Chains A and B, each alone.
Chain A
Amino acid sequence: MEKASASAWRKFNARYNMIGNVCKTCNTKYFPPRIVCKNCGRNTKMEEYQFSGKGEIFSFTKIHVPSEAFKESAPYVIGVIKLEEGPMIEGHIVDSGKEPQIGAKVKQVFRRMYTDGEEGLITYHFKFELI
């Protein structure tokens, strides 16, 4: 995880602002953004697309045994979120005192993710909060 800051920076637009993309050839929206449209191949015409950050919980779990970078934060709740624009994405569901449930509505919030490497660089990321 020590070198993760550069890779986090490359994903800045998506991870901070939930900017995905849309293929102008077939109108399919993607989050996370990708280069090649699954339908259109070499005829892909991608443009940036701002997702609303709203959606609902499709599935969720609470992780008790974490990976190394998340040792300090366990346990934490992860959801598969179906965004209102169509795509699904995994993300943290922050503790708001409410119990997560499949079908429950969520909105995107901006939070600290973990502290990175020896320099203690703080990484931020979108997370989700129950409405």
Chain B
Amino acid sequence: MRDVAIIGIGLTKFGERWEHGMRELMAEAGVKAITDANIGSKDVEIVYGSTMASGRFVGQEHMAALLADQLGFKNIPAVRIENACASGGSALRQGYMAVASGMHNIVVVGGVEKMTDVTTSEATTALGGAGDQEWELSQGITFPGLYALMAKRHMHEYGTTEEQLASVAVKNHENAAKNEYAQFRKPISIQDVLKSKVVAEPLKVFDCSPISDGAAVVVLAPLEIAKKYNDTPIKIAASAQASDTLGLSERESLTELKATKIAAANAYKNAGVKPSDINVVEVHDCFTIAEILAIEDLGFYEKGKAAKAIFDGETKLNSKLSVNTSGGLKGCGHPVGATGIKQAVEITMQLRGEAKERQVNGAEIGMTHNVGGSGATAVVHIMKRAN
């Protein structure tokens, strides 16, 4: 196996991008990434594309070939990866494997979702397909509903409060305000969250990631030649993934994601690091409760201890552990197919020292954590400055 590095990154602004369709978003992020990597179109050997539900959102399937074509990568193989909200992280892992195996040298991985052309209830139906269609969506159990069931149980078992949930959103909006790519640039207060419209009790609008448009692209290369393209290649030190039941109620516990725990354990082992070595992490905060579960399941906090720690400010920018410096899914936006790749873009910026106002001081090791459905897929990557 060869070491793999990220040599180029590109991101669109997330949010309601009504003047741009799916292909324009992909092209915008893609051109930035190949420019950043300083490669020509002919250098790219394969494309992995990710979108969760472009067929439901804009009626367009077959997204990877479209991405390759829009970027002028003539006739190379292109493969779409779909793993619900973890499509991006899963595609990144495929790209990683293609380079690590020695099969390909320069690989482009791009994710997109164009979600704002449909109504909220149509989007809610489309996203519901990330859970169990036959036993959840068919009964009207929405995606926020699934996480609400987890939140309620977490509150019951550990005394987690609505204020603590709200503090996740407050922190992530604070970070998003410093991120030019983010959907929401306005800081909010705990009261704003508590007063916002109820979506699925106890989750309110401000506990939820929004409906977003956006794209993210990275370029991968073998580490041994990465310096040829980029002065600060970022090494992917581990890539791990795990799965679980699609249905939430089939799991033993509603207060942990087993797939996250397993993927994280493998990632730490493969990278030879432990949770306390991580300086900056992008976790899958599709709902405020999800960030609490994530930093517990990733081993940063004991079960039941994270909510208070977040409320107390331990996960703010440049405090004990900087979590979701991009603003996370909550503040930066969540175009589902793009999210897992956007997380890698953010960590790359942090490790390169290019995160401007939201730079984590001395960031050397970073992590991304991308979840599909209510936890049926989890993908964890650990990244390091290659120097």
Nearest 7 Cβ contacts at the A-B interface: A70-B140, A61-B148, A88-B249, A59-B153, A67-B125, A62-B201, A59-B149
Select B142's contact among A60, A65, A87, A88, beta carbons within 8 Å.
A65
Assess the A61–B140 pair: CB atoms within 8 A. Answer: no
Instruction: Name the B residues within 8 Å of A70 (CB-CB).
Output: 140
A102 within 8 A of B: yes
Select B137's contact among A67, A73, A81, beta carbons within 8 Å.
A67
Number of interface residues of B (CB under 8 A): 36
Assess the B140–A90 pair: CB atoms within 8 A. Answer: no
B42 within 8 A of A: no
**Which residue on A lies nearest to B121, using beta carbons?**
A68
Select B120's contact among A65, A78, A89, A113, beta carbons within 8 Å.
A65
Assess the A65–B200 pair: CB atoms within 8 A. Answer: yes
Q: Given the known A-B contacts A80-B254, A89-B249, are A59 and B152 also in contact in the complex, defined by CB atoms under 8 Å? A: yes
**Which residue on B lies nearest to A77, using beta carbons?**
B201
Instruction: Name the B residues within 8 Å of A67 (CB-CB).
Output: 121, 124-125, 128, 137, 140, 142
Q: Given the known A-B contacts A58-B254, A89-B249, A114-B140, are A78 and B135 also in contact in the complex, defined by CB atoms under 8 Å? A: no
Report the minimal beta-carbon distance from B374 to chain A, rounded to whole angstroms. 11
Assess the A102–B248 pair: CB atoms within 8 A. Answer: no
Instruction: Name the A residues within 8 Å of B136 (CB-CB).
Output: 90
Assess the B124–A4 pair: CB atoms within 8 A. Answer: no
Contact surface of B with A, Cβ cutoff 8 Å: 120-122, 124-125, 128, 134-142, 144-145, 148-153, 156, 197-203, 247-250, 254
Q: How far is the CA of A61 from the CA of B149 in the complex (A)?
A: 6
Interchain residue pairs with CB less than 8 A apart (29): A1-B125, A4-B138, A8-B138, A32-B134, A59-B150, A61-B149, A61-B152, A61-B201, A62-B200, A63-B140, A63-B142, A63-B148, A64-B198, A66-B121, A66-B140, A68-B121, A69-B125, A78-B140, A80-B248, A80-B254, A88-B250, A90-B135, A90-B141, A92-B139, A92-B140, A102-B153, A102-B156, A113-B140, A114-B140
**Which residue on B lies nearest to A64, using beta carbons?**
B198
Q: Given the known A-B contacts A32-B134, A80-B254, are A65 and B199 also in contact in the complex, defined by CB atoms under 8 Å? A: yes
Q: How far is the CA of A93 from the CA of B78 in the complex (A)?
A: 46
Instruction: Name the A residues within 8 Å of B247 (CB-CB).
Output: 90
**Which residue on A lies nearest to B154, using beta carbons?**
A59
Select B149's contact among A60, A66, A68, A73, beta carbons within 8 Å.
A60
Assess the B124–A68 pair: CB atoms within 8 A. Answer: yes
Select B135's contact among A8, A32, A76, beta carbons within 8 Å.
A32
A45 within 8 A of B: no
